[in-house]
Amino acid sequence: MVSARATPPSLLGLSTYLLSRVGKTARSRLALRLSERGLRLWDMAVLAALADFGPHAQRDLVARLGVDPSDMAKVVEQLAAGGHVERDRDPEDRRRVLVTLTPAGRTLLTELDAEARAVQDEVLAPLDAEERRVLRELLLRVHGPEGAPYAP
Amino acid sequence: MVSARATPPSLLGLSTYLLSRVGKTARSRLALRLSERGLRLWDMAVLAALADFGPHAQRDLVARLGVDPSDMAKVVEQLAAGGHVERDRDPEDRRRVLVTLTPAGRTLLTELDAEARAVQDEVLAPLDAEERRVLRELLLRVHGPEGAPYAP
DNA sequence: TCCTATGGTGGGTGTCGACCCACTATCTGT
DNA sequence: ACAGATAGTGGGTCGACACCCACCATAGGA
């Protein structure tokens, strides 16, 4: 007899379903860890952007990460309050706010990265190292190097 | 120069991030299609469970799909209103409601399945058939045949 | 200098999914 | 027949997320 908890094969045959399901657990587990520090996913994304590409005007963070400007203001506000980024007016255009990663922010990002890898180990437990590599490769191709092209 | 829209490599190196991102687009695109018919993802899951395993008591649907009983009631109510399932009291235990797929429901599921595959073609466009197969295989392993074990 | 556009901020809205509680109907064991 | 468990339902809450608008400061061109 089939387990009364088995997922319907009709759904398991759909990559769409698997992606959304697995993606959801990955997302929520990571979000859980971050929330223990009072952070959300966007905070991490902003820190990563600053670490990888250097200081950004807030509008450039908006463009890069595809968030609403108003929401970005709130994220940056929170990160600044925690001492993880610095906000300075751009002297060349005093409308702009230059956001810079502080050493504390860099440290935080390192920790968050470790958290993310821990989550990864949980979620991808059934796969060996090689399989994980293949999976990451495929996901990267799907995602596209430029971020998901938004074609409505 | 690097595109001002490129996603931070720090994030692209994390399968956690990729999974959550790609999963989210898959999820929301499918949800969009379903919402055009006034349906949600759970509706499809319920139809699939009924098609694959035959009639269920509502409580068994709850156990199989891991939804809140109260929410399941609403989903089933909606499906019944649309004529896609039938609800009958179980004569052997009149507390139970037996949910059965109607022919209309089966037809609907077929259509929804086609929609899901269309979404799949959009999302997985960068991959060829073999790569898609590998991806599906890996996701299936990650998901586990019994559905994600929920270990809090 | 005035007009318009741009960058940023604060506040509010709508939706969504997950969850929880109170209540009714029914069953089961004593 | 009664007590306690179980199945389903209706109603409401909560947090996350995306989105939108009004507003202020500043810049840059006519």
pLDDT band at residue B144 under the 50/70/90 scheme: confident
Nearest to B12 by CA among A151, A149, A100, A144: A144
- Region A17-36: mean pLDDT is 93
Distance from the Cα of residue A132 to its chain's centroid: 19
- Region B102-126: mean pLDDT is 95
Nearest to B145 by CA among A124, A9, A40: A9
Token pair 């139970």 is at which residue?
A: B96
Find and list the nucleotides of strand C having atoms within 7 Å of a protein beta carbon: 6-12, 16-22, 25-28
Task: Determine whether the interchain pair B16/A116 forms a contact, defined as Cβ–Cβ distance below 8 Å.
Answer: yes
pLDDT tens track for A48-85: 999 999 999 999 999 999 999 999 999 999 999 999 99
Task: Determine whether the interchain pair A5/B124 forms a contact, defined as Cβ–Cβ distance below 8 Å.
Answer: no
Quick check: B34 pLDDT over 50? yes
pLDDT band at residue B6 under the 50/70/90 scheme: confident
DSSP-assigned beta bridge partners for residue A99: A56, A87
| A136 CA from D8 C1′ (Å) | 44
> Using N-to-C axis directions, what is the helix angle for A103-123 and B15-35, rounded to 10°?
70
pTM reported for the whole predicted model: 0.89
Q: How far apart are CA A90 and CA A76, in angstroms?
A: 16
pLDDT at B2: 57
Helix (H) or strand (E) run with residue B17 in it: helix B15-35
pLDDT tens track for A115-141: 999 999 999 999 999 999 999 999 999
Quick check: B26 pLDDT over 50? yes
pLDDT tens track for B45-56: 999 999 999 999
Is-contact A96 A18, C-beta < 8 A?
Answer: no
Q: Cα distance from A112 to chain B (closest Cα, Å)?
A: 11
Angle at A121 between CA A109 and CA A145, to 5 degrees: 60
- Domains plus CATH for chain B? 16-124 (1.10.10.10)
* 3-class state of residue B152 by DSSP: coil
Give the number of other Cβ atoms within 10 Å of residue B53's Cβ.
17
